[in-house]
Amino acid sequence: MLREIYIKNLAVIKEAVIPLAENLNIFTGETGAGKSILINGINAVLGQRVTKDIVRTGCDRAVITALFTDLTADISLRLDELGISHENDEITLTREISRDGRSVARINQRTASATLLKEIGGLLINIHGQHDNQILLDSECHMNILDDFGTDFNILESYRHAFRELQQTAKKLNEIKKSEHTRMERRQYLNGIIEDIGELELDENEDDIIEKEYETAKNAEKAIIAIKNAIECISGEGNSADMVATAENEILRYTAMNDSLNAISERLSAVEIELSDISTELENSADKIELDGQRLEYLGKRLNSINKLKRKYALDCSGLVRLYNDACTEIINLESSSSEIQELTEKKENLLHIVTERARELFECREKAGRIFAERVTAELEFLNMPDVVISVSLEMGKLTMNGMDSVEFLISANKGEIPKPISKIASGGELSRIMLALKSIIAEKDSIPTMIFDEIDTGVSGRTAQKIGIKLKEISRHHQVICVTHLSQIAVMADNHLMIEKKTVGERTETSVTQLDGDGRVAEIARIMGGENPSVLMLDTAREELEKYRTE
C-alpha cells in the first residue's frame, strides 16, 4: 500500500510529507486549495506525462517520492522479474521534474525509465478521476469491464490464441495469393530457362572444350583438302609430273648434241621421281589424318547452340549451368507454394471453425457473467440511492475480433417503467459517479491492485446519497487501501485517516500545506464543510456527533 508521499516544490506545495493509513484516507479542503495538485503529483510519480509548469515558480525542480509497503506476492514477483530489489516488502518511486521540462524517474533511488515507473505504478495504484466516468459512455469499454468482473480468462485466452493463429494464417495466405500472378510470370520465365538450357544438358566449361575440338576437326578437314589439291597438282590430269616428263622427253632428243641439255634432262628425271615420291607421301599423310564428318557437323551445331544461349543470357557456359540449376531449385519452391495455398486454405477453414466455436463459448460465458453483473450492480446502485434503477447487459453477435464475436453495452433505466437504454444517452453526472463506484465496488473484490484513489467521486451528489457513497468507500477499504478527495462531510466522516489541504499566503507567496487531522481538527474541518468558515457551536457539535457515530459503526 501507499504509506507516505513526499512532495517538494510542486506548484503551490512548497514541501509536504503526507502519511497514509491502510484503510480509508480522505482529503478535504476548500476549492482551489490544491487537491488537484496532489493528484497530479501522484500521477507524476506513477509515470504519467508531466509538464514543466508543474514546477513551483522560482525553483529549479519539483520532487515527488512515494513509499509503498506490504507489497503483495504478485507485485514482488514482477519486481523480481525486473531485477528491482524490495527489501522488507518496501519500494520507493521518485519523479523529479526540472524547470526546463526534463524529468528523471527513480525506483529505490536508482534511475529508471518513465515507462518502467508507469508499469510498476499500475500494479500499485488504480486512480479513478472524473474523466474516468467517460469510460461508461464508451460502449467499447464495457466489454473490458464485464471481463474484469466475471469472464473466465482461460476461455478468453484460449479464444485469443486461436484467433491470433487464424489471423496469422489468413495473412500468410493472402500474401501468397497476392503474389500468385508474379509467381506465374516467374514460373514461365524459369520454365523458359530450363527448356533452353536443359535441352543442351550442358557441362561447365563445355564451350571451351567443344571449341577446341571443333577447331582441331576443322583444321584436319582443311589439311586433307589441301593435300588432295596438292596431289591433284602433282599427279592429276594436266599434272606437274606429266609436264615434267614431257619436258624431259623433249630435251632427251638433243642431249647428244649439247652436254648442258643432258644435265638438265637428268635433273628433270630427278624432279619427276621426287614428285612421284611427294605424291605418295601426301597420300600417306592424308590417310593418317582422322576426319569424322558427322562429328564435325555435330560439334558445329552444338557450338552454335551454346553461343546463342551465351548471347541470350549474357553468360558463359558455367554461368548458364548455374542459371539452370538455380531455376530448377526455384521452380520447385514456386510449385510447392501452390500446394502451400491449398494447405493454408484448409488450415484457415479448420481454424475458423475452432475460433467460431470458442467465440460461442466465450459469448455464453459473458452472458452468464452479464446476468450476475447486472444483479450485483443493480444491488449496489439501490444502496447508493438509485432504488428504481435497472441495469442490463446487452450482448450481440457480430464479426470475429480479438475479443470474440460479440459486442457488449450496458443499458440503464434510472426511473421505474422506463425501458433500459444506453448509459451514454440518459445518465447524469451524479448517476455516472455512482455507477462507476458500484462497478469499482464489485470488481474490487477480485482486483489485486492494493491502492485505489477516488478523485471527487461525489460529483453531482449530496445528502443521503453522499452518505451511501461514504459507506461504500468504507466497505471497499476493507479489501484495499482507499484514498479519496471529497467536498462532502458525509464522506469525510468515514475516514480512518483525515488530511486537510489548505492554501495560505506566506509573505509574498502562496503555499499549500497538507495536515493530518486529530480529533479536534477533524471536528473543525467537518463543521467547516457543513456550514462554511467560522462554524457555530451547534455545527461543531453536529460534526462531533457525526464523527462519533461513524467511529462506533
* DSSP secondary structure string for all residues of 433-461: HHHHHHHHHHHHTT---SEEEEESTTTT-
Same domain, 309 and 199: yes
Task: Give the residue-averaged pLDDT of 17-34.
Answer: 87
In a domain, 105, yes or no: yes
With 80 as the cut, is the pLDDT of residue 236 above it?
no
Residue that is last in its domain, among 268, 292, 314: 314
Task: Give the residue-averaged pLDDT of 481-492.
Answer: 90
Same domain, 84 and 122: yes
Q: Which residues contact 196 (CB under 8 A, 6 or more apart)?
A: 309, 312
- Residue ranges making up the domain that contains 479: 1-129+433-516
Task: Give the residue-averaged pLDDT of 208-226.
Answer: 71
How many C-beta atoms lie closer than 10 Å to residue 51's C-beta? 11
Do 440 and 451 form a contact (C-beta atoms < 8 A)? Answer: no
In a domain, 237, yes or no: yes
Q: In what order do the strands lie in the sheet with 421-422?
A: 390-401, 404-413, 421-422
In a domain, 339, yes or no: no
Counting residues of the chain whose pLDDT is more than 90, the rounded percentage is 21
Same domain, 27 and 67: yes
In a domain, 163, yes or no: no
For residue 164, what pLDDT is reported? 95
pLDDT-wise least confident of 54-58, 171-175, 457-461, 506-510:
457-461
Residue tagged 443499458 (cell numbers): 411
For residue 220, what pLDDT is reported? 66
Task: Give the residue-averaged pLDDT of 327-352.
Answer: 82
3-state class percentages of the chain: helix first, strand second, coil last, to nearest 5? 60, 20, 20
With 70 as the cut, is the pLDDT of residue 237 above it?
no
For residue 402, what pLDDT is reported? 92
Same domain, 2 and 121: yes
Residue that is last in its domain, among 263, 297, 314: 314
Q: Which residues of 162-186 are buried (b: 16+ CB within 10 A; e: fewer)?
A: bbeebeebbeebeebeeeeeebeee
Counting residues of the chain whose pLDDT is more than 70, the rounded percentage is 89
Same domain, 1 and 120: yes
Could you report the per-residue pLDDT of 245-276, keeping only the tens digit for each? 777 677 777 676 677 777 777 787 777 777 77
Do 360 and 196 form a contact (C-beta atoms < 8 A)? Answer: no
Q: Work out the pLDDT band at 96, boundaries 50, 70, 90.
A: very high
Task: Please enumerate, as own/partner, the contacts of 418-427 that have beta carbons within 8 Å and a separation of 24 or more.
Answer: 418/390, 420/390, 420/391, 420/392, 422/139, 423/136, 423/137, 424/136, 424/137, 424/138, 424/139, 427/136, 427/137
455 conformational bin, left if phi > 0, alpha if psi -120 to 50, beta if neither: beta
Average per-residue pLDDT for the chain: 83
Residue tagged 538455380 (cell numbers): 326
Task: Give the residue-averaged pLDDT of 59-68.
Answer: 92
With 90 as the cut, is the pLDDT of residue 195 above it?
no
In a domain, 379, yes or no: no
With 60 as the cut, is the pLDDT of residue 553 above it?
no
- Measured in whole angstroms, the distance separating CA 163 from the mean position of its chain's CA atoms is 16
Q: Which residues of 368-392 are buried (b: 16+ CB within 10 A; e: fewer)?
A: ebbeebbebbbebbebbbbeebbbb
Task: Give the residue-averaged pLDDT of 507-515.
Answer: 84
- Count of domains for the chain: 3
Q: Which three cell numbers stand for residue 14?
A: 512548497
For residue 508, what pLDDT is reported? 78
Task: Give the residue-averaged pLDDT of 191-217.
Answer: 78
With 60 as the cut, is the pLDDT of residue 33 above it?
yes
Q: Which residues contact 326 (CB under 8 A, 6 or more apart)?
A: none
Same domain, 273 and 198: yes
For residue 19, what pLDDT is reported? 93
Do 494 and 478 form a contact (C-beta atoms < 8 A)? Answer: no
The counts of H helices and E strands in the chain are 18, 15
Same domain, 297 and 233: yes
* Higher per-residue confidence, 98 vs 263: 98
The answer to whether the predicted template modeling score (pTM) of the entire model surpasses 0.75 is: no
Same domain, 522 and 538: yes
In a domain, 427, yes or no: no
DSSP characters for 248-303? HHHHHTTTTT-HHHHHHHHHHHHHHHHHHHHHHHHHHHHHHS---HHHHHHHHHHH
Could you report the per-residue pLDDT of 126-146, keeping only the tens digit for each? 887 655 666 677 777 888 888
Q: Work out the pLDDT band at 464, boundaries 50, 70, 90.
A: confident
Same domain, 190 and 286: yes
Do 31 and 486 form a contact (C-beta atoms < 8 A)? Answer: no
With 80 as the cut, is the pLDDT of residue 552 above it?
no
Kindly list the distances between the CA atom of residue 551 and the CA atoms of 143, 469, 474, 493, in Å, as whole numbers in the listed order.
39, 17, 12, 8
For residue 425, what pLDDT is reported? 77
* Higher per-residue confidence, 76 vs 458: 76
Same domain, 300 and 223: yes
Do 27 and 13 form a contact (C-beta atoms < 8 A)? Answer: no
Q: Work out the pLDDT band at 365, boundaries 50, 70, 90.
A: very high
Same domain, 524 and 511: no
Check residue 494 and report its DSSP letter: T
Do 97 and 52 form a contact (C-beta atoms < 8 A)? Answer: yes
